[in-house]
Amino acid sequence: MPKNKGKGGKNRKRGKNEADDEKRELVFKEDGQEYAQVNRMLGNGRCEAMCIDGTKRLCHIRGKMHKKVWIAAGDIILVGLRDYQDDKADVILKYMPDEARLLKAYGELPDSTRLNEGIAAGLDEEDDGGADDYIEFEDEDIDKI
């Protein structure tokens, strides 16, 4: 039988999520970076995101975040733009919901950005569409039945 050379099993690889509870300093964008909202996850460490500048980009989740920070559709992220590919970017940071609200309050994100909703910004639906969901019956209609 071969000797085990590892340092532990899958529970060691999972690690402890001690850093999630503590407050971290709010990180603002610098030049060469942009805020974006995730439209959908594509798999293989990639996602499709709509940047605040109006460009849809294919974003690659960097290895430091891969399998440690979970990103879902609708999340606000900070992406690093590439000089040589305008349609691709790298995910640098995922903002927690309270951090995203602070960014919106500081005016970093436009007011049209929808936060805390499971659907992404590109999947807008009509606001008056909910009126067709219910059918109202008059008392006379019920008596006929």
Window from 39-48, 62-71, 113-122 with minimum mean pLDDT: 113-122
Does a structural domain hold residue 116? no
Phi, psi of 54 (to 5 degrees): 95, 5
Does a structural domain hold residue 47? yes
Quick: pLDDT tens for 49-84. Answer: 999 999 999 999 988 888 888 899 999 999 999 999
- Mean pLDDT within 134-145: 66
Amino acid at 92: I
From the number of C-beta atoms within 10 Å of its C-beta (0-12, 13-18, 19+), residue 102 rates as middle
Tokens of 13: 């690889």
Does a structural domain hold residue 15? no
Domain ranges, residue 72:
33-106
CATH number of the domain enclosing 79 = 2.40.50.140
**Which DSSP helix (H) or strand (E) runs through 59?**
strand 56-61
Does a structural domain hold residue 67? yes
What is the predicted pLDDT for the residue at 122? 45
Average pLDDT, the chain: 80
The domain tally of the chain equals 1
Tokens of 30: 């610098």
DSSP, res 4: P
Q: Is the pTM of this model over 0.75?
A: no
Which residue would you say has higher pLDDT here, 8 or 82? 82
Does a structural domain hold residue 12? no
